[in-house]
Each structure stands twice: as structure tokens, then as C-alpha cells.
Amino acid sequence: MKTQVAIVGGGPAGLLLSQLLHLSGIENIVLERRSRDYVLSRIRAGVLESGTVQVLNDADVGGRVAREGQPHEGVELSWHDERLRIDLEALTGETVTVYGQTEVTRDLYDAGDARGAEIVHEAAVKRIEDIEGIEGSTPSVVYEKNGAEHRVEADFVAGCDGFHGPARQTIPDSVRREFERVYPFGWLGLLSRTPPAAPELIYATHERGFALCSMRSDSISRYYVQVPASEKIEDWSADRFWEELRRRIPADVADTMVTDGEVLEMSVAPLRSFVCEPMRHGSLFLAGDAAHIVPPTGAKGLNLAVSDVYYLHRAFDLFFNHGKSDGLDGYSDQALSRVWKAERFSWTLTSMLHDFPHYEPFEKRMQKAEFDYLTRSETARRGLAENYIGLPF
């Protein structure tokens, strides 16, 4: 098989890139290790920046998010006994859209079906070869399906294979630099068929640990509580979750929160900050979680994957349709510049809102000072809001 761009990974990054390339007349194939049902069963975050929604529109997959996504004008911070609303709309003129990442993925699959996209499931990529542009060699991707090995030759390879995929490792150790921070806690999440506890998201800091009240729609809620990194999901019943959540969120919200609906999912996710530099090596380009991870506190994971794909699609379009390679040459620096700012924001918010077991009184006072500053300074709130709604592409 031969194509212009071989895409490793059929998560939101790979599927969106495939769709945008198709609209630009660039041939591509997506290789995804899992089944479609498996990919669509993964529950992830649910806050889209307006730039993300714009790219989904550009990709002709914005119909359902426009109809079903909920615009949110603000988010709330609850700090022990104090509360602070961040009025995103008043501070920035923009809103965010609450719409599940799983739904974005579903919309991309539907669009792929409609155009007869080449998306190969249960195709595990084993190796990515000849990306270094040596005369006479062609980049290729070797994958295994139904016990047999197959090879796709391509002009370029897009590594959209998430944090555990093989693409990043293809960049030689002598070139690759990785930056990482692993946090000593995770988030235990619960998705339920219950109306949201409050109309806006609540990020809650409490001495028992952080909690988040979020939602997917008027009838589906998503909640999280901070747990130690070693926590096992088997140790948590729904009842234990609700009880713990109630203790950490504002009393009036806890008192009226509906908890007697069906529990749709519970899982624990570790928290990590991670960046790989560069995001391009020869003919290989990384996008999304393959290149970087943020802790979920700022809801930036999917949004960053989308901005990478936006830059990468533009670079491929310039190359294939206009004969210019400067987009490809600038891709890594351009993507990383936005990535690092989102890393900074996610790290800052995580550091301010969570209970860190090793924090000494000094660090705790720093967290308090940070919250007080936000309470008293509109400039500080605007800084938070500007990052939360998403920095410009």
C-alpha cells in the first residue's frame, strides 16, 4: 500500500487530521490498534475551547457540537469555605463549550464513514521505518492485523498514537528530549445519569483533596475526586464516591446534588505533565498525546491535540498543494510554543488546587496567596480566563 500521509492512531488527533487532509485532497490512511467500540468507550474530558470548535467546523464535523454542545460563560472555584466565579465571558468576551471528547470522536467516525475513509482498526503499528530522508528510501509503517504483517509506504508519517504509542520512540535518543512531572495523585472519575449538581463547573479545593463537578448535558454529570496515585478502583463503590465528593464541594451544592441515577462509568486516571521535543524528526510528525500530556485540571488535553492538528494540516496543505515546505519545517517550534503555555497553565492550576502530600506550610501559604490574589485582582482573573478559554492558535 502507498499513501501520502500514514496516520498512526485513531483517537481524536488522528481522526481529525485524516478528515482535514481529505478535505484538502491529500490521501491518507489511519491505523488504529483497538476496535472502534473500544475507542468510543473511553471517557475523557469535555470542555472545548472556541478555537477547537472552529477547527471542528472547518473539518465539517461541527454540526452536532453546535446543536448539542452547551456554551458556558463562567466556571467556579471553591476554596475551602470561599467561592469565586471566573466570568470567562466578561473577562475575555468568549465562552467554552461543554461537549464530551467521546462525542467529538464519534462525530469524526461518522464523517469518516460518510466519505469512505480508510481507517483500519485492530491494526497495531509495530515499527516506523526510514523517516530520516536518506536518498532512495521511502518512509513506511509496519503494522500487524489478524496475525499478519502489512506495510504502508508514505511520503510522511503522523504519530497520533497517544502517550503509549510507538511513534515517539522512533525519534532517536540522541535527538529526543523528554520533560516530565508525575504528580503523587490521580483523579477518580464518575459519569452518571443525573442532572448536573450546579449550572457551571466547580473546581473545589478542600483539605481532603481536590474535587470537580462537571457535566456532559442536562441529564449526564461527570465528577472527580483527587485520590492517591496508588488508589485501586475496586476499593471504590459509587456510594463511597458520592460521600467523598459531598464532603469536598460547597455545602449547598452537596445538599441538593442528585446521586440516585445510573452510574455509567468509574475510572482512575493518573496525573502527569509531559513534553517531547522536537515534535518532528525527518518525515515523522507527532501530534496530541503522543507528544505531550497535561494534567486534566485545565481541560487542555484534547484542545492541544486539536491545535497541533490544525498546524500540521496547514503544513501538509502548504506542501502538497502549494509546493512549500516552510510549514513542515516550522511545525515543531510552532506547536511547542503553544504546548508549553498550556503546560504552564495546567501545572499552575494543578499546583494551586490540589492537596500535595509533601507540601510544607510555606507551599500551602503560596496556594492561599494565589487564591487571594485571584479574588482581589481582576487582572489575575483575566489571566486565568484567557488561558482557560484557550490561547490563540
**The amino acid at 205:** T
**C-alpha distance from residue 269 to each of 33, 188, 287 (Å):** 21, 6, 21
Which of ligand APR, ligand PHB, none binds 312 (CB below 5-8 Å, type-dependent)? none
Binding status of residue 14 toward ligand PHB by CB under 6 A: no
Give the range of 28-36, 75-83, 178-186, 317-325 binding ligand APR by CB under 6 A.
28-36
Annotated catalytic residue, options 139, 296, 313, 354: 296
368 is a catalytic site residue = no
| Residue 150 annotated as catalytic | no
Q: Does 14 bind ligand APR (CB under 6 A)?
A: yes
Binding test (CB under 6 A) with ligand PHB, winner from 11, 12, 46, 327: 46
**Counting contacts by CB under 6 A, is residue 55 touching ligand PHB?**
no
Closest CA to 269 of 41, 44, 34: 44
**Active-site residue, 72 included:** yes
**Total number of residues binding ligand APR (CB under 6 A)?**
28
359 assigned to active site: no
Kindly state the smallest distance separating residue 347's Cβ from ligand APR, in Å: 15
| Interacting residue with ligand APR among 26, 75, 96, 125 (CB under 6 A) | 125
Residue 271 near residue 296 (C-beta atoms within 8 A): yes
**In the annotation, is 388 catalytic?**
yes
78 in contact with ligand PHB (CB under 6 A): no
Catalytic residue among 22, 300, 313, 354: 300
* Position with the least CB separation from ligand PHB: 214
Q: Which three cell numbers stand for residue 239?
A: 456510594
Give yes or no for residue 214 binding ligand PHB (CB under 6 A).
yes
Residue 46, contacted partner among ligand APR, ligand PHB, none, CB below 5-8 A by kind = ligand PHB
| Cα Rg of the chain (Å, integer) | 21
The residue (of 222 and 281) whose beta carbon lies closer to ligand PHB is: 222
45 scored as a contact of ligand PHB (CB under 6 A): yes
**Closest to 229 in 3D by CA, of 277, 278, 271:** 271
Our finding on whether 354 is near ligand PHB (CB under 6 A) is: no
CB of 297 or CB of 334, closer to ligand PHB? 297
Pick out residues in 247-306 that bind ligand APR (CB under 6 A).
Answer: 288-290, 301-302, 305
Q: Is 69 in the site for ligand APR (CB under 6 A)?
A: no
Active site positions, annotated: 72, 203, 296, 300, 388
Interface with ligand PHB (CB under 6 A): 45-47, 201, 214, 222, 296-299
Binding site for ligand APR (CB under 6 A): 8-14, 31-34, 39, 44-45, 101, 124-125, 160-162, 165-166, 288-290, 301-302, 305
